[in-house]
Every structure is written in C-alpha cells, then in structure tokens.
Amino acid sequence: MIALAGLFLAAFLAATPVPFQSELVFLGMQAAGWETFALIVVASIGNTLGSCVTYALGRWLSEQRDHRWFPLKPVQMARAERWWGRWGLWLLLLSWAPFGDMIVALSGVLRVRFAVFLTLVALAKTGRYIVLGWLGAAALGAVAG
C-alpha cells in the first residue's frame, strides 16, 4: 500500500509546477509485478488531482491580473487569449505532454468551467497511463520472451 501511495504522490507532483516524473515510478512498479490496472487507476487519479491544483493556481492568478507582479503582461495575456480562442478546450487533451502544465494553468487563468476542465484532463491523463501501461507490458513481454 505504501508503494501505491508513492506512485500517487509521484503522479500528483508531476502534474503540479514541481518538476517531477511519474513514468519511471509507474514502470518500475509494473516491472516489480504490480497489477497494471491498479497502477493506471492510482496514477491517473493522482495526476488528475495534481492538475486540479495547477488549475486552481491559474484561477488564483487570474484574480491577480491588476497587480504589477502578474507574470503575464497585457500583450502576452491578449496573445494567450487569442491562442486559446483559436485552439480551444481541446488543448486540455494535451495536458499529459511536457508543456501540459502551462495549458492547465492557462485554463485556470482563463476560467474554463471546472467540469469541462476535469473531464478533458481526466481523459487525457488516464489515456496516457493506459498507453504507458500497455507499452510497459509489451516491453516486459519482450524481455521475458
């Protein structure tokens, strides 16, 4: 159970601004014999909840737009809004990618409805761990065979 909690924490942190990788923990546990389905469930929930924290940080930042220290200048914010307007919510399906934390934070800044955010991010994160689990199983099968 402690190992699963470690995977949850790794996946959670990986979806926040904290630089962390969960894939190695996932694959290591899979190689150690943990059930792939359980790993997918735990990692997906942890990673999705971590994205919720990043989204909340973005929402908080959106309330700070009038402050001097707001990280985006008005020109940059307008560019981000145009970019989001062009590509839309479907960008959240890339929340698993290396630049995904920026997409997640921007969705918070732009105040995307939380239910829509959660649905798309949960799909993206779960899909990523399903693919990772499949690749891990294939690699383990190739090594064993």
34-38, 73-77, 102-106: segment of lowest average pLDDT: 73-77
Q: Residue ranges per domain, the chain?
A: 2-144
Which helix (H) or strand (E) segment holds residue 80: the answer is helix 74-87
Mean pLDDT of the chain: 91
Count the Cβ atoms, other than its own, within 10 Å of residue 48: 20
pTM of the full structure: 0.89
Cα(5)–Cα(71) distance, integer angstroms: 34
